[in-house]
Structure 1
Amino acid sequence: MREQILGLTTPIMAFVFAALFLAVWWRAGLGRQVLAFAAGYAAFALGFIVTHLLPTGAAATFFVTQAFYSLASVLLIWGACHRAGRPAHLRTLFGIYCIAAVSLLAAVSISDDAGPRLVLINAGYAMMFLVAFVSLADAPRRTLVDTAILIVLALHTVDFMVRPVLTSMAEGAIPAAEYRESLYYTIINMVLMLKTLNTAIVLLGACVYDGIVKVREGANIDPLTSLCNRRAFEAEVARTLSQSTHTGEQVSLVIADIDHFKQVNDLWGHQAGDKAIAGMGTLLARMSRPHDLLGRVGGEEFCILVRHCGEADAAQLADRMRLAFARSTFPEIGDHISLTASFGVAERRPGESYDRLFSRADAALYAAKNNGRNRIERGSQPAVPLCEDACRAAA
């Protein structure tokens, strides 16, 4: 009776953790790795139940157990690697499973001793977790949680490789039919209970951390455009300008504003206005470079900190954005009606603060508005006629 209760404690605990991971995935909206953690714990619980309830004298019991435990290992490994953006090497894991299964088949055919079977199966698990450890070892460990996951993978590798060998050597031959009465089975129950608990605590801690990061990032993101909001943009710009002061990096600030936006809201409604703002944000993000900083800093006003770029080049980038936005269509407004935007551009002067840089770019934007809109003004000089304006003037 005691063995029955002890044997069921671990799978019950695993099912509870599977339910917790599933609830976290459902409620917090985290990535698929959390769903993989839930499925992994469920597969582990089923494998343990198979080991505990099916007759160990039957060779099929070991193969079914190996299948469930291998599936649980692969799911946990995939989840940990997916969270870190690292490859899980699924083909390698499947190859290890196949080698372990073939080795198990040979051990079953040769002897009724459960010891070699257990050593071979656990060696397969050890190799799986070693693959995961190597894959994650090169990933940037930003927090204690990342390091804790790596430590857990290392402990799993060592445990699966060393414990079965030492226990089998200490106990000697273990007839398969008497496996559940062996010292090995008692030890593995206790070890798996501890591993189930500490692994779940680490992975749940990772989920909590990821949830906090998601909430924090959500507070910095403008929901309409998915760009940084003003507070987050200015904080990131402050860090970038501080670095550029020491490195001498050339940066320019572009401010864009949709022309006659109030009329858009008044004539076609706020939903049409929101679509125009979202479209502008998508266009700016698509046409900017990965290391440039973008943000929505007002109702219909956007800022771009263009890195490694002087004012003239930044003005050319802004002109391409201006032309692309003028060619954009918005079904909510009408296929034959186009919107335009005005741009102000200013290059940062040595040691200049963000507030001063913004003021000069903003003044250039107002000059673009006063000079007819749908144009670009530069903070250092009067505007030069641009593509469409020059053609129109020549005509």
Structure 2
Amino acid sequence: MHAMILTFVIPAVALIFTVAFFGLWWNNRKCIHVLAFSACFASIAIGVAFNIWISANVGLPGIVFYHLLSMAGLLAMMWGLTVRHGQKAPIGAYGATALFTCAILWIASAAGEVSAMKMAQNTNSALIMAMMATNLWHYSKDHWADRALIWVLSTLALFGFVRPLLTELSDVLFGGGEAGAATLTSIHALVLAVLLTLMALCLAAMVISDNMDQQRHEAAFDPLSGVRMRGAFESDAKALLQYAREEGLPVSLIVADIDHFKAVNDAFGHVAGDRVIAGFGKMLGQMTRGRDITGRVGGEEFCILVWNCNLTQAAKMSERIRRAFAASSHCKENHDVRCTASFGIAEAERDEGYSALFERADAALYRAKRAGRNRVAADGELETDTSETVVDFAPRASLVQRG
């Protein structure tokens, strides 16, 4: 009786998490991998329920169908985990192993080899669990839920490998007869129920953590340009400046402003202006490096904190961006909308804070604008003449007023 009750726990728990993951997916339907987690637990719920209530009456086809349902659930989970990390799941290869296992089950069942059937089922499931744990180990170990899921999957894989052995030793470990078989069934059901619950809780924690990260990202990044908004940029820039001081590495700040942006809005409308902003932000993302920080600090004003980069190198980067932006087109209907940008740069001095660095780079930007726009100006002396477009540089103490 107790064994039967514990066996019913597994489909009940799986059904609860099927609904829970479906609700999480419904709340954010862009996360298709969450729907795969729901499908995984739905497959487990249906498969175990089928195995308890129906398979005994349908014989060999029922055994194969139960295994296919179980493998479908595991493959859905594998697909969801790999998609979450931007990888491609080897569904075809593992699907082929599931079909091969079904063939073994059919032959073993027809021959009455119960032990071979259980060995094939459990080994196939354990192998897929082990592969999922291995893939997670390579893709992500940063969050506690990822690390916990690795351990749960590894434990499930280990349980799958030793379960046939426990079955064979049941007479020795638990005594023979119905009582021993019931004890073994209870242990199997309890262990699986606990591990499946832990697996579901880890997956749920991963999904919730991903949603929170997405919300933080949306709060920190400008949806139009795709770069950080002012508050997030300044916070990250201050942290990177502090780290650069500790490492003794150069850091430069580039302040860029799109020239005559108001005229674009007046002549072509705000839709065209939005395209210009989006195009400039996309270009910054393509032409900066992974450790660089970009941000939109005003309507048409952008900043780049360039990691491990002195003034001359920052000037060269600014010039490359300036040329690329001047050559790009932001089409609106029949109009070829083209814009330019001006740049001001400054290299951080020792123990200099972000505000002082921004003030110097901003002052250089306004010198570039007063000199005719569509150019780069530096606050400080360049090591070499990087380009004739870098038309202006000034000593550290020279600051100009806006105008």
Map 1:1-395 → 2, pairs under 5 A: 9-29=9-29, 31-56=31-56, 58-84=59-85, 88-90=89-91, 92-111=93-112, 114-170=114-170, 185-332=185-332, 335-381=335-381
**How big is the shift at 1:16?**
3.1
Identify if the C-alpha distance between structure 1 residues 157 and 389 changes in structure 2 by more than 3 Å, giving closer, same or farther.
closer
Asked if the contact 1:326–1:338 (Cα under 8 Å) also holds between the matched residues in 2, the reply is yes
Q: Distance in 1 between matches of 2:60 and 2:185?
A: 17
Q: Distance in 1 between matches of 2:171 and 2:84?
A: 40
Asked if the contact 2:330–2:336 (Cα under 8 Å) also holds between the matched residues in 1, the reply is no
Asked if the contact 2:230–2:295 (Cα under 8 Å) also holds between the matched residues in 1, the reply is yes
Q: 1:230 is aligned with what amino acid?
A: R
Structure 2 gaps of 5+ residues are 173-177, 392-403
Asked if the contact 1:251–1:306 (Cα under 8 Å) also holds between the matched residues in 2, the reply is yes
Q: Distance in 2 between matches of 1:29 and 1:219?
A: 19
Q: 1:101 is aligned with what amino acid?
A: C
Asked if the contact 2:315–2:390 (Cα under 8 Å) also holds between the matched residues in 1, the reply is no
Q: Distance in 2 between matches of 1:132 and 1:326?
A: 48
Q: Distance in 2 between matches of 1:213 and 1:12?
A: 31
Asked if the contact 1:368–1:375 (Cα under 8 Å) also holds between the matched residues in 2, the reply is yes
Residue-by-residue CA offset, 1:194-222 (whole Å, 9 max, x unaligned): 33322222211211111111111211111
Q: Distance in 1 between matches of 2:188 and 2:286?
A: 55
Q: 2:311 is aligned with what amino acid?
A: E
Asked if the contact 1:295–1:303 (Cα under 8 Å) also holds between the matched residues in 2, the reply is yes
Identify if the C-alpha distance between structure 1 residues 318 and 272 changes in structure 2 by more than 3 Å, giving closer, same or farther.
same
Identify if the C-alpha distance between structure 1 residues 12 and 221 changes in structure 2 by more than 3 Å, giving closer, same or farther.
same
**How big is the shift at 1:337?**
4.3
Q: Distance in 1 between matches of 2:359 and 2:158?
A: 61
Asked if the contact 2:319–2:390 (Cα under 8 Å) also holds between the matched residues in 1, the reply is no
Q: 1:250 is aligned with what amino acid?
A: P
Classify the secondary structure of the residue corresponding to 1:79.
helix
Residue-by-residue CA offset, 1:5-64 (whole Å, 9 max, x unaligned): 766553344233222212211213453321210111122222123212334261121111
Q: Which residue of 1 aligns with 2:396?
A: none
Q: Which residue of 2 aligns with 1:175?
A: none
Does 217-226 or 132-141 show the bigger shift?
132-141
Q: Distance in 1 between matches of 2:140 and 2:12?
A: 35
Residue-by-residue CA offset, 1:303-329 (whole Å, 9 max, x unaligned): 112223222222122122112222222
Classify the secondary structure of the residue corresponding to 1:322.
helix
Q: Distance in 2 between matches of 1:365 and 1:283?
A: 19
Identity of aligned residues (%): 33
Residue-by-residue CA offset, 1:260-279 (whole Å, 9 max, x unaligned): 22222333333322221111
Q: 2:226 is aligned with what amino acid?
A: S
Identify if the C-alpha distance between structure 1 residues 134 and 385 changes in structure 2 by more than 3 Å, giving closer, same or farther.
closer
TM-score by length of 1: 0.86
Q: Distance in 2 between matches of 1:337 and 1:158?
A: 63
Asked if the contact 1:346–1:360 (Cα under 8 Å) also holds between the matched residues in 2, the reply is yes
Q: 1:69 is aligned with what amino acid?
A: S
Classify the secondary structure of the residue corresponding to 2:253.
strand
**How big is the shift at 1:119?**
2.9
**How big is the shift at 1:257?**
0.3
Residue-by-residue CA offset, 1:220-268 (whole Å, 9 max, x unaligned): 1111111111122122222222221122222221111011222223333
Q: 2:122 is aligned with what amino acid?
A: N
Asked if the contact 1:268–1:333 (Cα under 8 Å) also holds between the matched residues in 2, the reply is no
Identify if the C-alpha distance between structure 1 residues 156 and 6 changes in structure 2 by more than 3 Å, giving closer, same or farther.
closer
**How big is the shift at 1:294?**
1.0
Classify the secondary structure of the residue corresponding to 2:26.
helix
Asked if the contact 1:33–1:80 (Cα under 8 Å) also holds between the matched residues in 2, the reply is yes
Asked if the contact 2:146–2:202 (Cα under 8 Å) also holds between the matched residues in 1, the reply is no
Q: Distance in 2 between matches of 1:282 and 1:15?
A: 44
Identify if the C-alpha distance between structure 1 residues 337 and 331 changes in structure 2 by more than 3 Å, giving closer, same or farther.
closer
Q: Distance in 2 between matches of 1:279 and 1:362?
A: 22
Identify if the C-alpha distance between structure 1 residues 369 and 238 changes in structure 2 by more than 3 Å, giving closer, same or farther.
same
Asked if the contact 2:3–2:185 (Cα under 8 Å) also holds between the matched residues in 1, the reply is no
